Amino acid sequence: MSAPPAGRSYALAPRVRWVQDADRIIVADAAGSRGIELRGVEAAVWSWLSLAYPYAWLVEHLALLTGTPAAEAAAHLRGVLDGWLAHGLLVPEAEGEAPAAAAPAAAAGDG
């Protein structure tokens, strides 16, 4: 696996909380009291991001998951990320901020 390319980093908006359920991911956005259910490809991408897989890995495995060429998977991924950015679920991290390694949730759930 290659090193993450140098580029812009996006992270979960501070007001957003999420939980992995049996067949979906539920994202709770305190702004506007919105709840969003992610399923299928979106849920897969979200969970991969939570595990800190790099962008190239996401493209490669999304292509495998959807059975599409890498270029198509990359476009698909961009669309997913674009949507989350537009909804404010992801926000740009401060310039120069080093991405932290994925870590277990501090307040692990009870479920």
Partner 1 sequence: MANVAISGVCNLRCPYCFAGSYLAASREQGAAFIDAAAFEQRLDFLVRSGIPEARLIGGEPTLHPAFPDLVARARARGLHVVVFTHGLMPPRALDCLAGLPADACTVLVNMNAGAASARPDPAEAAQRIETLIRLGGRATPGFTIYRPDFDLAGLLPVVLGTGCRPAIRLGLAQPMLGGGNAYLHPKQYRAAGARIAAFAREAAAAGVALQFDCGFVRCMFTEQELAVLEQGGSDFAPRCSPILDLDLAGAASHCFPLTGIVEAPVGPGATAQDLRAALARETAPYRLAGIYARCSGCPEKARGACTGGCLAVTMRRFRGGPVRVIVPQALQAFARS
Residue ranges binding partner 1 (CB under 8 A): 4-12, 14, 16-24, 26-30, 33-37, 46, 49-50, 52, 54-56, 58, 74, 78, 81-82, 85-86, 90, 92-93, 99-103, 105-111
Our CB check for partner 1 shows the closer of 36 and 65 to be 36
As given in the structure block, the two tokens for residue 11 are 């992270």
**Which is closer to partner 1, CB of 49 or CB of 63?**
49
Q: How far apart are CA 46 and CA 25, in angstroms?
A: 8
The nearest distance, CB 67 to partner 1, in angstroms, is 22
CA distances from 4 to 16, 59, 69, 98 (A): 25, 13, 21, 12
| Least separation in angstroms between CB 24 and partner 1 | 6
The Cα 6–Cα 65 span in angstroms is 26
Residue where the block lists tokens 């709770």: 28
